[in-house]
A = this chain, B = another copy of it.
Amino acid sequence: MFKVKVYVTLRESVLDPQGKAVTHSLHSLNYPEVSDVRIGKYMELTIEKSERDLDEVINEICSKLLANTVIEDYRYEVEECVPQ
């Protein structure tokens, strides 16, 4: 069994209005030291062992469903879990 942590972020060149809104809210809440916020997604997948190659499966899942690769980048980390 594997625990896969997927991070999806907007590409650098893409504007992030949600992040800008959070930055403005933080300035209103008296945190002027926060100069920028970028919002992304974080997902934890539990994947059972199968005959297919794990990295291939994760890349397919990310590009088909979890990330929009036109405007987003993704990266992931795999942890193997030992069942108790």
Contact = CB atoms under 8 A, between A and B. Distances in A.
A55 to B, nearest CB: 13
Interface residues of A, number: 36
A39 B65 CA distance: 13
A3 B50 CA distance: 38
Contacts of A38: 43-44
Interface in A1-49: 1, 7-9, 19, 22, 25-26, 29, 31-49
Interface of A: 1, 7-9, 19, 22, 25-26, 29, 31-50, 52, 57, 60-61, 64-66
Given A19-B43, A35-B46, A35-B48, 8 more contacts: A22-B43, A22-B66, A29-B61, A31-B57, A33-B48, A33-B50, A37-B44, A40-B44
